Amino acid sequence: MKFYKDHYDVIVIGGALAGLSSALMLADKGKDVLVLERHNLPGGIATSFVRGGIEIEAALHEMMSIGEKNNRLKVGKFLDDMGVDIEWLKVPEAYHASFPGVEVTLHPGFETFAKEVDAVVPGTYDKVLAVLSLCHTVFDSVNELSIHPMSKPMMLLKHEAFVKTAGYSTKEVLDTFHLPKEALDLLAPYWIYVGTGFSELPFTIFAVLMADYIGYGSYIPKKLSHEMSLKMAERAEAMGVQIEYRQHVEKILVKDGKVYGVRTARGDEIHADYVISAAYPNKVYTSMIEPLSEVPEKAIKMVNGRRLSLSAFSVIMILDKPAEELGIKDYSIFRGESADTDKHYRDLKGLGPYRYITCICHNLGNPGVTPEGTCSFSITTLPRVDGWKTVKAEDYDRVKHEVAKDLIDYMSEYYGVNLLDYVLEIVIETPMTIAHYTGMWNGCIYGYAHTMEDHIVARLQTAEEEHFIDGLEFAGAHQISGDGMGPAVTNGRKAAKNVLDAMARKEAAK
Amino acid sequence: MKVKGFLQDVTGASRVTKARLEAFASASTAPERIDPIGDVAKAWHPGKIDLVVTEIREASKTAKTIRFERPDGEKLPFFYAGQFISLDFEIGESVISRPYSISSAPFEARGEHPFVEITVRRSKGDGFICDYINDTLKVGDKMRGNMGLGQFYYEPLRDAKHVVALAGGVGITPFASMAKEIAHGTLDFDLTILYGSVSSDDIILKNELEALKSERIHIVHVLSGDEKDWKGERGFITAEIIKKYSAPDTTYFICGPQAMYTFMREELKKLAVPQRRVRFEVFGQAKDITKFAGYPTDVADKTFNMTVVRGISETVIPAKATESIAVALERAGIRIETACRSGECGFCRTKVLSGNFYVCPEGDGRREADKDFNYVHACAAYPTSDIKIKIPIE
């Protein structure tokens, strides 16, 4: 029996947000696309699961780059344009920040946010607004330059702030504003969404993050992230994309420096001119390319020269009391022993105790998401893969429970109730869980760390020369835009654009 | 706009690009293939593994315990006591998978001589795989299985330190696993098993359970049959009996025949046990789907055409209205991956492209968005018209 066509224009390995975005964009241009996904549903970690009859969000905290219905940002607009009709709910606040001596809920909107910070640290309104304005200017430049590249002198003329801050870390730029520490602390919480401390994090990344989230707020799909993943997959299929689940691609076939197909664990050899891989370059270049002799040394040096970023550790609980009765008041809470991002980033290298965490109470952004009288509460930290790499299979369950217990105790102390007394369902997600369901390299969900040696501006500059095998593109957190579900869509579109450009070049050469 | 100084500011992009190229230039050229986190994930969940039957012994006059080992004698995957194994049976042209609670303990899967066991009772005429296991399976037979599945296990961050297990018939198996693991010192709670059987002859794993009794493990047999010289508890496992053996904070685990689930829900209601203290094992395949609310009984005797899409191919097979989509596929020799066979786990997630279907309301584990797009779990969905489905290529 024949399950595949003799040939496809493009094979996409991985049916999560990046791969599906690639597929949508290519199908929109009339290309013949096959998506192979190893799991039996789309989305990767943008998914949900059911326990005891209750559907539970697996990973999504909040989506950036969506925007209001009539004023969409790039991800929201792309999904609208592709006909992916998601029921978005706006997250009510930016976040509740909880650090020693500080308890404040901040809301999106630059003025609102600056006013709320000023109420906690008087006299900072103008400076905080100035930081956010600078962020917004850089954000606009990044968005425009990603569509219309221009010469360096022209860039300096038209995108001065972007150019002048590109070579600096977040700390270096923020220092020029001379904000009191207490105010800086309130600007810090989202750092965990990009995953490096401020002395290493490029300011460009911080600027985009803050402008997007604080400027425009964040969104979640009403029927959890599975709604988003499934609607993208369904739309892609309606546009003619063939999606096959439970198909694990083991090899990417290359001859004379050019991709010609893939082989699955089932043994199917499927041919295409282009392959877009959501599998990490680390895995592709060290074990998936067949033959491995087709992998140039430069590709190995590239993956070895980069630092893997963060994985995730989440304790997700369904509690048998409504949020209000437990004292939970906010959808999103960031809590830490301090707002020292560099220290926390160092601590993420170990196995805990993790003292910088992000909690979500889903019901407060999505009323009715769990049955009456219950609420869904998750505690997440995003450890680096280093510590978890040392955990042996026989110790895994013990370590997982110790870390989970510590995080639950940390938040129980915060609310003054023992959360363990209310647990109806509990699921502990670890880097291993992620590796199991998605096959992501070392369970890493953030791709490569955003650092001054792996800067988004440099990633853009050198993209061409880091393209080692003809016809092979990558889509996922390991690509230019980095981690996050919004950037996943952008990374997927970029891979599709590279394929379309290559096709056009070939067509022109004929 | 000034950060540090004009020249330093405007050369930022060149500076970071240079830093990148230098980092790559000085990086190692040795391919690093290690993914230790992925390796741990595989040790727990390797997917389908090869197994060979190494021992079959009586577990009662009507049940047998089957021991499986890996052909190479290697250790078996980690799992939690109470979980099940999904076994693939190759019968004729078909591969049929069925879940069985593991009756051996997790430590036994990782010992010097690693093995995993299931205990299966001969059916009363409605379970041909159960009979196949009891009558046909023999030492040396090879098969494949996926183990460490299901949510029916003790979770220390959720469950009370005292557990009362309510077991009926062959539903004793997950508790046998838990009891062995407690006795071994690798699972930490007090377990009282209230075990309902018809007669003392029917008690499955009787001797093994007897040997496990200790300060932490209590086994109370409750016989429903009319056995004259029986001195223990009699009748069904009622609220009264349950109360007698409960501690102030107790988690109840229930595994047994479907009728027992309905009964236990009522009994536990009488005791006002909070929902979080009650864990039911999956329901199992509905014995008679026509008995469920909303089933369109007017089509019950019909057989429909089911078009099965796999990749770019289509096959048409017959599908009875009273048999699940998964069963129709298995009868036609079309492979579908299933696990819990109860509609809960979603292993057999299937898209219905057109046609009507009925989903068993008991244990419906579908996601909301999946319902909107006509995804079903094939083991618990029944065709009620000609139907077209898409399933993964196996």
Give me the DSSP letters along A42-86. Answer: S-TTS-EEEETTEEEE-S-S-B-S---TTS--HHHHHHHHTT---
Of A450, A383, A382, which Cα lies nearest the Cα of A169? A450
AA identity, residue A470: D
A434 part of a folded domain? no
Q: Flag if B311 and A242 touch (Cβ within 8 Å).
A: yes
Quick one: pLDDT at residue B126?
60
Instruction: Inspect the interface and report whether the beta carbons of B40 and A227 lie closer than 8 Å.
Output: no
Residue B288 CB-half CA count within 13 A:
5
Number of CB atoms found within 10 A of residue B75's CB:
16
Q: Give me the pLDDT at residue A276, please.
A: 98
Q: How far is A43 from chain B (nearest CA, A)?
A: 13
Domain boundary among A163, A196, A216: A216
Kindly state whether residues A49 and A99 are assigned to the same domain. Answer: no
CB contact under 8 A, B157 and A404: yes
Least confident of A94-98, A254-258, A317-321, A336-340: A336-340
The residue among A74, A136, A140 whose CA lies nearest residue A484 is A74
Per-residue pLDDT of chain B (394 residues), as tens digits, is 899 999 999 999 999 999 999 999 999 999 998 899 999 999 999 999 999 999 999 999 999 999 999 999 999 999 999 999 999 999 888 899 999 999 999 999 999 999 999 999 988 766 788 888 988 999 999 999 999 999 999 999 999 999 999 999 999 999 999 999 999 999 999 999 999 999 999 999 999 999 999 999 999 999 999 999 999 999 999 999 999 999 999 999 999 998 999 999 999 999 999 999 999 999 888 889 999 999 999 999 999 999 999 999 999 999 999 999 999 999 999 999 999 999 999 999 999 999 999 999 998 999 999 999 999 999 999 999 999 999 999 9
Residues A262 and A280 in one domain: yes
Q: What is the mean pLDDT of chain A?
A: 97
Residue A398, min C-alpha distance to chain B (Å): 11
Find chain B residues with C-beta within 8 A of A40's C-beta.
Answer: 337, 346-347, 349, 392
Pick the residue from chain B with its C-alpha nearest to A288: B33
Q: Is residue A436 assigned to a domain? A: no
Same structural domain, A103 and A66: no
- Closest CA in chain A for residue B42: A436
**pLDDT, position B105:** 98
Using a CB-CB distance cutoff of 8 angstroms, which residues of chain B are in contact with residue A443? 37-38, 41
Whether A443 maps to a domain, the answer reads no
CA B159 to chain centre: 19
Residues from chain B contacting residue A165 (CB–CB below 8 Å): 3, 9, 12
Provide the pLDDT for residue A147: 82
The whole-angstrom distance between A104's CA and the closest CA on chain B is 30
> Which domain does A110 fall in, by range?
92-216
Close Cβ partners of A360 (under 8 Å, ≥ 6 residues apart): A57, A61, A331, A332, A333, A376, A377, A378, A380
Which of B226, B73, B217, B51 has the alpha carbon at shortest distance from B139? Answer: B51
Prediction ipTM score: 0.96
Q: Do B3 and A165 touch (CB under 8 A)?
A: yes
- A184 and A241 assigned to the same domain: no
Residue A68 Cα, gap to closest chain B Cα (Å): 22
Whether A483 and A309 have beta carbons less than 8 Å apart is answered as yes
Flag if A432 and B37 touch (Cβ within 8 Å). yes
| A198 and A150 belong to one structural domain | yes
pLDDT tens readout for residues A207-259: 999 999 999 999 999 999 999 999 999 999 999 999 999 999 999 999 999 99
> In this complex, do B344 and A385 lie within 8 Å of one another by their Cβ atoms?
no
Whether residues A291 and A406 fall in one domain: no
CA distance A411 to A407: 6
Measured between alpha carbons, how far is A293 from A178 in angstroms, rounded to an integer?
A: 54
Residue A437 within a domain: no
Structural domains of chain A, count: 3
What residues in B contact A245, CB-CB < 8 Å?
349, 392
Q: Is residue B146 within 8 Å of B47, Cβ to Cβ? A: yes
Asked if residue A439 belongs to a domain, the reply is no
Q: Calculate helix-pair angle for A203-216, A125-147, nearest 10 degrees.
A: 110
Q: List, for residues A334-378, the tens digit of each pLDDT value.
A: 999 999 999 999 999 999 999 999 999 999 999 999 999 999 999
Q: Show the domains of chain B with their CATH numbers.
A: 41-149 (2.40.30.10), 162-280 (3.40.50.80), 289-390 (3.10.20.30)
In angstroms, the Cα distances linking A490 to A90, A226, A446 are 21, 19, 14
**Domain with A21 in it: what CATH number?**
3.50.50.60
Residues of A within 8 A of B313 (CB-CB) are 1-3
pLDDT digits (tens, 9 = 90+) for A384-403: 999 999 999 999 999 999 99
Contact B157 A4 (CB under 8 A): no
Q: Classify residue A3: in a domain, yes or no.
A: no
Residue A438 in domain: no
Q: CB distance A242–B157 less than 8 Å?
A: no
Residue of A161, A167, A457 with shortest CB distance to B1: A161
B361: left (phi over 0), alpha (psi -120 to 50) or beta: alpha
Q: Which two tokens stand for residue A362?
A: 């889903």
User: Do A75 and A153 fall within a single domain?
Assistant: no
A382, two tokens = 């995003």
Identify the pLDDT of residue B128.
Answer: 80
Flag if B45 and A436 touch (Cβ within 8 Å).
yes
Contact assessment for residue B354 and residue A37, using Cβ atoms and an 8 Å cutoff: no
Specify the residue for token string 């579900």. A485
Chain A residue numbers with beta carbons less than 8 Å from the beta carbon of B8 are 167
Last residue within a domain, chosen from A216, A246, A264: A216
DSSP annotation of A285: I
Q: Are residues A320 and A300 in the same domain?
A: no
Nearest-angstrom CA–CA distance, A134 and A138: 6
Look up the pTM and report it.
0.97
Q: Do A227 and B368 touch (CB under 8 A)?
A: yes
Do A458 and B8 count as a contact with CB atoms less than 8 A apart? no
Residue B96 in contact with residue B330, Cβ under 8 Å? yes
The predicted structure's pLDDT at residue A418: 98
Q: Is the same domain home to A97 and A209?
A: yes
Measure the CA–CA gap between B193 and B163, rounded to whole angstroms: 8
Of A223, A247, A282, nearest to B368 by CB-CB distance is A223
What was the pLDDT predicted at A127? 98
Query: Measured in whole angstroms, how far is the alpha carbon of residue B77 from the centre of its chain?
Result: 15
Write the DSSP assignment of A296-315 as a string of letters.
Answer: -HHHHHHHHTS-B-B--EEE
Distance CA B210, CA B203 (A): 11
- Amino acid identity of residue B391, one-letter, is I
| Closest in B8, B17, B367 to A226, CB measured | B367
Whether B16 and A458 lie within 8 Å, measured CB to CB: yes
Last residue of a domain, one of A158, A184, A216: A216
Q: Which of A428, A450, A177 is nearest to A312 (CA)?
A: A428
HEC assignment per residue over B131-154: HHHHHCCCCCCEEEEEEEECCCCC
Task: Pick the residue from chain B with its C-alpha nearest to A176.
Answer: B3
The whole-angstrom separation of Cα A104 and Cα A124 is 15
Q: How many residues are given for chain B?
A: 394
pLDDT in tens, A116-171: 999 999 999 999 999 999 999 999 999 999 888 889 899 999 999 999 999 999 99
Which residues in chain B are closer than 8 Å to A53, comparing Cβ atoms?
Answer: 364-365
Please indicate, yes or no, if residue A265 is contained in any of the structural domains: yes
Residues A101, A42 within the same domain? no
Q: What is the pLDDT of residue B125?
A: 62
Q: Cα distance from B355 to chain A (closest Cα, Å)?
A: 18
Q: Are residues A67 and A113 in the same domain?
A: no
How far off is chain A from B114, nearest CA to CA, in Å? 15
Say yes or no to pLDDT of A101 above 70: yes
Same domain (yes/no): A132, A247: no
DSSP H/E element including A459: helix A456-462
Instruction: Give the C-alpha separation, B118 to B206, whole Å.
Output: 15
